[in-house]
A and B are shown apart, each in its own frame.
Chain A
């Protein structure tokens, strides 16, 4: 049992589950109390130890099935019973084959023998490898071509199995053993094309919203006339004042009742040492840090500008606000917003030569740059806000970077300024990205924006 469990733990690790030694030991202990004829109990015990969040459960189920069902169905045994010499022979021939000496080949042969760990690891590396490519040559072919290469290896291996089994003489068409091996390779092939995103059913989806303002509150940002934009800015100013008031009251309520002994004793001097006046400590509430990533291409920009406008008018409600504009590259706009009033800042950004307004939006590249240059801004107090439609011109979405950001931050909130009916059409990657967000909400008009900001600060 120990051996099997260790092997399964290795498979889980290669399959991107974090399983520590202490968890393996715990599982081992727990299995002593489980009746093995009760598979549900057996699985539940492993699951409780190896998949420690809902997000990991889908992946766990997949690996569990692969390891305990698909891999344990005994390819090694002849249907007539008895050990299968043919299998051993074929595997031995494959291992010696000069043409099959790449790591992927060996991983695949392991897979044939019932140990998927190395193959899972290859797949993991494929998905997570850094791409170094010239900016001129943008494509998402990196992962695809990597996968293609593995597929070719699978085909080569299939050929080799055919040869090895006919070579062994028993059956010119390749016996049942060869057939089962080929079947197993088909399984490996299928795994390459399987979608394996975390289960994100805890995602907070905000749909309906309050009507804070009639008419102008319902109009899409992108459709506002210059006069209405001015009007909007007035409304936002008032709104921010009101929100601040409400926040102030909450803070007052939150920071009461902490006796300050030193202060109390100091004041008691005036009353012959009797602490008549009790003094309380003001304990400031810890404030959140904000990092905002704003798509400034096309129509998306109008949503981003109002969002930034509101965030910066409330800057003192957060311990820090960092903001970045992006199209195909990130540009730090924190300073512009800190130094200038919102309108001025917006103008400056729109005329900024640092931003390549003609470029094609590339979220993957943007995430990559953000991770490389600005990841130090993100910690467990940081809320990352992304404003964008997720339309990435079919470039590689690099979702694993967003996953990485999620690990380091407190929350990721995605604001999508597109009408919801279009979210999952064409080159929109919002479906891909939402697996890594804590919250996803439409943000096309003032009502939705106000809802969001209220939620954020109150």
Chain B
């Protein structure tokens, strides 16, 4: 088994720079043990993508990433024939082709002879492997991150399904490619739309929320080892109160980290009203959000 225990998952993820809750570690452990993809949901910036990165680091595997978007198709996700290269080659070996068909009596015969050589043109050499094929044909096990699957079209989701259950693809000209190793698959979703039941059935589900205060403090101390515990705790209390506001974009972990860095640079070690208004732009990306925070400053600071 890849991991020895749930504790082992937590320890190794932490070494890779990721602080996992027990629930996250449990699901990762089960997914790794059972070769199941994980479907991760959660608010923006709660560490979905980061989990995949940390997994690849701690499992010592290559990370292959497929970013989904509307209109993404097999040619961009799986493979494509390099037509331009094929054309170029036909031109370069034109003479050879002439030789080949020189003795042919009829056109049908000539076509037949060329067709015999077709394999040469539909071979690895002209195949452009995209992330999914890369993950399947890799010599070593990989971590395959399929990011923001909710942005892809339903047709693509259906196609992905097949891949996730069989871990093989059929390339008409080359035959069936079966995965040498089943990759560790992480799919992320921001819930732009709902995933199909069929896809969900193939995955283990994991919801990553904003971390508990204790965990977030741990993350901060991991990224900024020098930070005073008292300050970190206070920061996180404040951030969590800001998250309760009805903001356009709620501050996520990276904002907490940025804020801690900003405070360090400005040598601020006490969170006062003044300190808040000096650094508010690090926490809130929108003017209207910053204004809302300023308006509720009293409640946030106490």
Residues of A in contact with B (beta carbons under 8 Å apart): 18, 20, 22-23, 26, 29-30, 33-34, 38, 40-41, 44-45, 47-49, 51-55, 57, 201-202, 205-208, 254, 258-259, 261, 264, 274-275, 278, 285-286, 380-381, 406-407, 410-411, 438
Quick check: B83 and A54 within 8 Å, CB to CB? Answer: no
Q: A48's contact among B22, B71, B87, B204, by CB below 8 Å, is which?
A: B204
- The closest CB in chain B to the CB of A200 belongs to B191
Quick check: A207 and B248 within 8 Å, CB to CB? Answer: yes
Quick check: B193 and A438 within 8 Å, CB to CB? Answer: yes
- Other contacts beyond A48-B30, A380-B154: 19, CB < 8 A: A18-B197, A20-B201, A26-B204, A33-B33, A40-B23, A41-B26, A44-B23, A45-B26, A52-B205, A53-B195, A202-B43, A202-B190, A207-B246, A208-B288, A259-B83, A274-B91, A278-B84, A411-B192, A438-B193
Shortest distance from the beta carbon of A388 to any chain B beta carbon, whole Å: 22
Quick check: B22 and A40 within 8 Å, CB to CB? Answer: yes
Quick check: B192 and A381 within 8 Å, CB to CB? Answer: no
Interface membership of B148, Cβ < 8 A:
no
> Given A47-B205, A254-B71, A33–B22 Cβ distance below 8 Å?
no
Shortest distance from the beta carbon of B249 to any chain A beta carbon, whole Å: 11
Quick check: A57 and B207 within 8 Å, CB to CB? Answer: yes
Residues of chain A within 8 A of B23, CB atoms compared: 40, 44
Quick check: A54 and B191 within 8 Å, CB to CB? Answer: yes
Quick check: A41 and B22 within 8 Å, CB to CB? Answer: yes
14 contacts between A and B (CB under 8 A): A18-B197, A20-B201, A23-B201, A26-B36, A26-B204, A30-B33, A34-B30, A41-B22, A41-B26, A44-B23, A49-B205, A206-B248, A278-B84, A406-B194
Quick check: A286 and B71 within 8 Å, CB to CB? Answer: yes
- The closest CB in chain B to the CB of A33 belongs to B33
Residues of chain B within 8 A of A275, CB atoms compared: 87, 91
Residues of chain A within 8 A of B197, CB atoms compared: 18, 52
Q: B191's contact among A34, A47, A202, A286, by CB below 8 Å, is which?
A: A202
Q: List residues of B (81-100) whose CB comes within 8 Å of A's CBs.
A: 83-84, 87, 91
Q: List residues of B (167-207) whose CB comes within 8 Å of A's CBs.
A: 190-195, 197, 200-201, 203-207
Quick check: B71 and A26 within 8 Å, CB to CB? Answer: no
Query: Complex Cα distance A80/B87, Å?
Result: 87
Shortest distance from the beta carbon of A239 to any chain B beta carbon, whole Å: 23
Residues of chain B within 8 A of A55, CB atoms compared: 194
A-B residue pairs, 9 tightest by C-beta? A202-B191, A52-B200, A380-B154, A44-B26, A208-B288, A48-B204, A52-B205, A259-B83, A44-B23
Query: Complex Cα distance A360/B182, Å?
Result: 59
A-B contact count (CB 8 A): 97
Residues of chain B within 8 A of A285, CB atoms compared: 70-71
Query: Complex Cα distance A331/B83, Å?
Result: 52
Residues of chain A within 8 A of B248, CB atoms compared: 206-208
Residues of chain B within 8 A of A205, CB atoms compared: 246
Between A208, A258, A406, the greatest number of chain B beta carbons within 10 A of the residue's beta carbon is seen for: A208
Shortest distance from the beta carbon of B182 to any chain A beta carbon, whole Å: 15
- The closest CB in chain B to the CB of A32 belongs to B33
Quick check: A45 and B30 within 8 Å, CB to CB? Answer: yes
Query: Complex Cα distance A411/B192, Å?
Result: 8
Quick check: A48 and B192 within 8 Å, CB to CB? Answer: no
Query: Complex Cα distance A26/B203, Å?
Result: 10
Residues of chain B within 8 A of A49, CB atoms compared: 204-205
Residues of chain A within 8 A of B154, CB atoms compared: 380-381, 410
Interface membership of B159, Cβ < 8 A:
no
Q: B193's contact among A44, A264, A411, by CB below 8 Å, is which?
A: A411
Query: Complex Cα distance A344/B192, Å?
Result: 36
Query: Complex Cα distance A38/B5, Å?
Result: 12
Q: List residues of B (240-278) whose CB comes within 8 Å of A's CBs.
A: 246, 248
Q: B27's contact among A44, A53, A202, A261, by CB below 8 Å, is which?
A: A44
Quick check: A41 and B194 within 8 Å, CB to CB? Answer: no
